[in-house]
Structure 1
Amino acid sequence: MTWLKDVIGTEKAIIAMCHILPLPGDPYYDKGKGMDYVVEMTRKDLLALQEGGVDAVMFSNEFSLPYLTDVRTETVAAMARIIGELKKEITVPFGVNVLWDAKKSLDLAAATGAGFVREIFTGVYASDFGIWDTNVGETIRHQHRIGAEQVKLLFNIVPEAAKYMADRDIESISKSTVFNNRPDALCVSGLTAGTETDAQLLQRVKAIVPHTVVLANTGMRLENVEQQLAIADGAVVGTTFKVDGKFENHVDPNRVQAFMDKVKAFRAQWQSEAEVR
Structure 2
Amino acid sequence: MLSAIFGISHARRARRPVRLAGPAGSGAGALRPTHPGEIMPDVSVCSSWESSEGLRTQTGDTDFQNLWGAGCAGCRMSWFQKLFGYNHGVVIGMLHVPALPGTPCHNMTLQAIIKKVCSEARGYVQAGITGLMLENMHDVPYIQPDDIGPEITTSMTAVSCAVRQEYPNIPIGVQVLSAANKQALAVALAAGLDFIRAEGFVFSHIGDEGLQNACAGELLRYRRQIGADHIKVLTDIKKKHSSHAITSDVSISETAKSAEFFLSDGLIVTGTSTGVPASPQDIQEVREVVNLPVVIGSGVTVDNLHESRAMLHANGCIVGSHFKHGGHWQNDVDLRRVKHFMDEAKTLQT
Post-superposition CA distance 1:56-91 (Å, at most 9, x none): 001111111111221221101011111223333225
1:127 — aligned with what?
207
Aligned residue runs from structure 1 range 190-269, under 5 A: 190-209=271-290, 211-226=291-306, 227=308, 228-267=310-349
The residue matched to 2:300 in structure 1 has which SS? coil
Instruction: Give the aligned partner of residue 76 of structure 1.
Output: 153
Other-structure match for 1:184: 265
Look up the match of 1:117: 196
1:103 pairs with 177, 182, 201, which one?
182
Summarize deviations over 1:104-161 as a string: whole Å, max 9, x none.
1111111111111111122211221111123321111000111100011101002221
Moved over 6 A (4+): none
The answer to whether the 8 Å contact 1:184/1:213 transfers is yes
Q: Which residue does the alignment assign to 1:140? A: 220
Q: TM-score, normalised by structure 1?
A: 0.91
User: CA contact under 8 A between 1:158 and 1:187: conserved in structure 2?
Assistant: no
Bigger RCO of structures 1 and 2 (CA < 8 A, at least 6 apart):
2
The DSSP-based 3-state class of the residue aligned with 2:174 is strand
Counterpart of 1:44 in structure 2: which amino acid?
S
Q: Compute the RMSD of aligned alpha carbons.
A: 1.4
- 8 Å Cα contact 1:51/1:253 also seen in 2: no
Q: Which residue of 1 aligns with 2:240?
A: 160
Point out where structure 1 has 5 or more consecutive residues left out of the alignment.
Answer: 272-277
Structure that is richer in helix per residue: 1
Supply the AA of the counterpart residue of 1:76.
T
SS state at 1:225 partner: coil
Letter of the 1:117 counterpart: I
Shift of 1:97: 0.8
Q: What is the deviation of 1:182?
A: 1.8
Deviations 1:145-197 (A, max 9, x none): 11100011101002221123222111111112212x12111100112221111
Q: Which amino acid aligns with 1:189?
A: T
The residue aligned with 2:38 is none
| TM-score, with length taken from structure 2 | 0.73
Q: Residue 204 of structure 2 contacts residue 213 of structure 2 at CA under 8 Å; is this kept in 1?
A: yes
| Consecutive unaligned residues in structure 2, runs of 5 or more | 1-76
Equivalent position to 2:164, from 72, 81, 87: 87
Go from structure 1 to structure 2 and tell me whether the alpha carbon gap of 1:69 and 1:11 turns closer, same or farther (over 3 Å shift): farther
Q: Contact 1:68–1:101 at 8 Å: present in 2 too?
A: no
Please tell me the residue identity of whatever aligns with 1:40: K
